[in-house]
Chains A and B, each alone.
Chain A
Amino acid sequence: MAATISGDGSVVFDRVQKSYDGEILVVKDLNLRIEKGEFVTMLGPSGSGKSTCLMMLAGFETATHGDILLGGRPINNIPPHKRGIGMVFQNYALFPHMTVGENLSFPLEVRKMGKDEREAKVKRALDMVQMIDFIDRRPAQLSGGQQQRIALARALVFDAELVLMDEPLGALDKQLREHMQYEIKHIHENLGITVVYVTHDQSEALTMSDRVAVFDDGIIQQLSTPSVLYEKPENAFVAQFIGENNTLMGTVQSVKGKMATVKLDSGAVMDALAVNCGESGSRTTLSIRPERVTVGGKATKSSADAKVLELIYLGDHIRCRMNVHGNDDFIVKVPNAADHTHLQVGETTTVSWGKEDCRALDA
């Protein structure tokens, strides 16, 4: 688009800070580079600063310090309506006094586009979300999912290179939400646009994104692809926030190369992958994914005694809550395979894992 400056759609946050009251920084020293065509999700609990980042990018908030670059150009002083960024809002923000067609036509009208061109673009955008039959309806006459599609079409209709989505699926039920996740993903792939997506739902983030930026306390805790985030969390927050996680607290005894020896608070000594645990003597959190734990096996430095506290039958697997080294919430997933171990509540057994699957993180 000639009138807009979104350029190739790449985004750079360069040492951006934001404070609302002059005392507390909601965004602390944010550095982030988003490539053209990428789907990046900002994930984090509420109050983590992710929405603020999106609003600064859209132009509704100004950065207290630092630069935001769009297509290589700083945009701090450019008002939102000149940024050419498409945006899907949490509650869709479809204009209630306009029909679906008028809603979609609006961004084209303000760009002084001719009538024929407008109609063609509106039709194409509605086709994309399979909503062409609803062109004359009012938003109030549509279901939540339909409104969501219209909001999506409206953000795309003026060919923005960059589209921001602020928890767009938050109001939908689970089934519809999952369906829309795929649909948005497909549209992203087909159009090759850059998408910056904000959500607090980690599974949504993992499903859709090329890369995920996990926010907490105004800082990006980890920026990686979904698989790396899950498999190799770099700190305790990310490990805890993404997927399910068992933790054991301890103190580093020694670090040798990639591996560390950790003395648990219960007295046992474990081997763990030294990811982010500091020197010997420092406190550490051991993180073990439930699905990497197996029941039975010999006692090693990668195993522990476990007492079965609770069993939940979930069809494809059995969820087993155990006490391991004083942790009552140690979860093990036992696959419902033909020959799986049959555990009883109250029974004591051994659980073990590969030593690389036990990650020593910050405390």
Chain B
Amino acid sequence: MTDATTDTNDGMALAADGTPLKRRLAQALFRSKLRALGLVTPLLLLIFFAFLVPILVFLTRGIHNDTFEVHMPSVSVELGQWDTTSEPTEAMYAALAADLILAKETKTIGKVASRVNRELSGTRSLFTKSARKAKKLEAPFKESLVALNKKWGDIEVWKALTIASKSWTPAYLASAVDLKYNADGSFERKSEERRIHLKLFARTLEISVIVTVMGLLLGYPIAFLLSTLPARTSNLLLILVLLPFWTSLLVRTTAWIAMLQSQGVLNDLFVVFGLAADEDRFSLIYNKTGTLIAMTHILLPFMILPLYSVMKTIPPTYVRAAKSMGASDWTAFWRVYFPQSIPGIGAGGILVFILAISFYITPALVGGEDGTMISNFIDFHMRKSLNWSLAAAMGGVLLTIVLFLYYLYDKIVGIDNMKLG
């Protein structure tokens, strides 16, 4: 036995039957790995089909929209060959007329019209009206279409059609960062009064950072207190920290409205104590202040819990040791306690930041106009304007930003230096 396992053949350890030891080990481990895989398979399948696939499918909408190509097939082919600068040809008009008839019959003209209208405002009725009369069109189609509506002679309309006809398009991503995608493939910044997304991304990051920092400043002492109190008291306080989870997010946000509105509790108190004049009360809600206050409150438990779970594992003897060596209270905290609580800060910070960056109910209710965040606009495009492609593109940009920040955190602090308990 002894020689069989230690004998080397070309420097390779061999098992008793002469096969390389590494292979035997791999075979032995394979079974246990297979069993482990079997145990997590249901979860992996769930994550894959209920999480990853829907997200990927939806994000794809941000770069892929085949509404036009599918419902206007002939003109799409023609537009693919057009150089975007010369006069549109009769063949293009003929294809357009045929497609208008088709779209009218299949009741898809509205979809096509909406799609083109996003590229050039005012073209929606051009499509729906023209489609109603498309059957009466006769060759030469160029003349008859322009006669039907002179807009068909406008090259800008055709450029818009060209952009819409490309199923795979960077147009939405461009729009998500306030750029305009042109028919010739170039990008330009949107006009001043239509730029909004970059500002919103910046504001979203700003609010998230402030909420995270405020959460840390407020949560750190609480977590510290919790971790130093005897178990019975700290459990009671911990229940108080968790208490907000027992009421819905909506209720907590609405409670802040009652607290902060200009005729609310807080302002009433300010007036009673003479801190504000009755007719000149503070605007604490329906603005960024309101968003910050409500979000900080709602996300505070997510900061406290990881901090607490890490602080609980820091024995009080470390600080005592530091003091016995001559460190003042502050030095002992800053040099000894604080560095050991960093994993909790990392975990709490990332948790709060990532939750904050995608917050939307609270800013929608208390944000007013300068307290709304990017998610509110994603929501707007999902529910109101029905521009799901733009919503997907904005979601994609947001996801990219989060992943990039996560990567940055890993580079600077190290992801393994994060502890959730």
A residues near B (Cβ < 8 Å) are 3-4, 58-60, 79-87, 89-91, 93, 95-97, 106-107, 110-111, 154-155, 158, 164
Contacts and interface: CB of A to CB of B under 8 A. Distances in A.
Given A60-B320, A93-B318, A93-B320, A107 B325 contact: yes
B421 interface: no
A155 B321 CA distance: 9
Interface in B295-315: 315
B340 interface: yes
B321 A87 contact: yes
Interface in B118-152: none
Nearest to B321: A93
B327 A81 contact: yes
Given A96-B340, A97-B340, A86 B327 contact: no
Nearest to A3: B326
5 contacts: A84-B326, A87-B325, A89-B321, A91-B315, A107-B327
B320 A106 contact: no
B324 A85 contact: yes
A130 B328 CA distance: 30
Interface string B304-348: 000000000001011011111111110110011001100000000
- For A82, A96, A110, the residue with the greatest tally of chain B CB atoms inside 10 Å of its CB is A110
A91 B326 CA distance: 19
A158 B318 contact: no
A60 B321 CA distance: 10
Contact of A95 (B324, B326, B328, B336): B336
Interface string B35-66: 00000000000000000000000000000000
Contacts of B327: 81, 106-107, 110
B320 A158 contact: no
B326 A4 contact: yes
B38 to A, nearest CB: 35
Contacts of A79: 323, 329
A59 B322 CA distance: 13
A82 to B, nearest CB: 8
B320 A58 contact: yes
Contacts of B315: 91, 93
Interface string B72-83: 000000000000
A91 to B, nearest CB: 7
Given A81-B332, A86-B324, 5 more contacts: A79-B323, A80-B324, A81-B328, A93-B318, A110-B325
B136 to A, nearest CB: 82
A91 B317 contact: yes
- Summarize A's interface: helix, strand, loop or mixed: loop
Interface in B240-272: none
A82 B329 CA distance: 11
Contacts of B336: 95, 106
Contacts of B340: 95-97
Given A96-B340, A110-B331, A89 B326 contact: no
Contacts of A155: 324
- For B315, B327, B339, the residue with the greatest tally of chain A CB atoms inside 10 Å of its CB is B327
Nearest to B339: A97
B326 A110 contact: yes
A164 B320 CA distance: 13
Contact of A81 (B317, B318, B323, B335): B323
Contacts of A106: 322, 325, 327, 335-336
Contacts of B339: 97
The 10 closest A-B pairs by CB, nearest first: A107-B325, A93-B321, A87-B324, A93-B317, A80-B323, A81-B323, A97-B339, A110-B327, A110-B326, A89-B317
A93 B323 CA distance: 12
A107 B326 contact: yes
A80 B324 CA distance: 6
Contacts of B322: 81, 95, 106
Contacts of A58: 320, 324
Contacts of B326: 3-4, 81-82, 84, 107, 110-111, 158
A89 B340 CA distance: 18
A158 B317 contact: no
B331 to A, nearest CB: 6
A158 to B, nearest CB: 7
A85 B325 CA distance: 7
A362 B335 CA distance: 53
A89 B320 contact: yes
Contacts of B321: 87, 89, 93, 95
Contacts of B318: 93, 95
Contacts of B331: 110
B121 to A, nearest CB: 59
A154 to B, nearest CB: 7
- For A82, A89, A106, A155, the residue with the greatest tally of chain B CB atoms inside 10 Å of its CB is A106
- For B326, B336, B340, the residue with the greatest tally of chain A CB atoms inside 10 Å of its CB is B326
- For B317, B321, B324, B331, the residue with the greatest tally of chain A CB atoms inside 10 Å of its CB is B324
A115 B242 CA distance: 48
A168 to B, nearest CB: 12
A158 B326 CA distance: 9
Contacts of A4: 326
A158 B328 CA distance: 16
B319 to A, nearest CB: 9
Contacts of A107: 325-327
A80 B331 CA distance: 13
Contacts of A85: 324
Contacts of A81: 322-329, 332
B325 A154 contact: yes
Contacts of B332: 81
A269 B103 CA distance: 123
A155 B323 CA distance: 12
Contact of A90 (B317, B328, B329): B317
A58 B323 CA distance: 9
